[in-house]
Structure 1
């Protein structure tokens, strides 16, 4: 639960950043992204990394950055468990697939632009998952 509380604090800081000046917003988002890169990993999340209910605590629209990092951590956890580059949970109609598709439809692109590396990784994995299921 400590992990969730920390992520909720991060989320609240990101929401409040929207009311800052452009320069302050930029600084705050960069700090939060650096913190999320450190905090959100399969090692730091432990058993929570593969717990699907973790994403239920966050809104993909209002918490776009936190949600992105959690999606990546969950995908990584499933990759480590299954030892597959594209785990079954990420393939349609898997639960992660539906969460990723929902996220891609609704996320806020403004804060996500600060997490280009994580965004690119997510898009590449979605493309790989789509290719896997499109093969006969």
Structure 2
């Protein structure tokens, strides 16, 4: 009984320590940072705060809209690789896709994160998940 009690206490302590030191990074912010763009917190006319990505020509776009391919297409990862970017959706989500033309002239849609991985890039490799 004592061993079971100690095992449970140990497990709970480890779970507590682990959960306190890990955070899930914002993929939209990581995407803007990966591409080298500045981010800034703004407040809209309704008082809502949002983070915007500032492009080299000083235009700006909501980070999530940029990540989903809704704005800033000419500054996207897709554009840097010679493709265009669009927004695709399912019943429950919207996501960015790269639209590329293959050697036969056929258009191919590839989800942004998959496209990045195909080119050896990822948003999470260099992100720091520890709060310390």
So what's the TM-score if we normalise by structure 2?
0.24
Higher relative contact order (CA 8 A, sep 6+): 1
Q: Which has the larger radius of gyration?
A: 2
Which structure's residues are more often helix, by fraction? 1
So what's the TM-score if we normalise by structure 1?
0.24
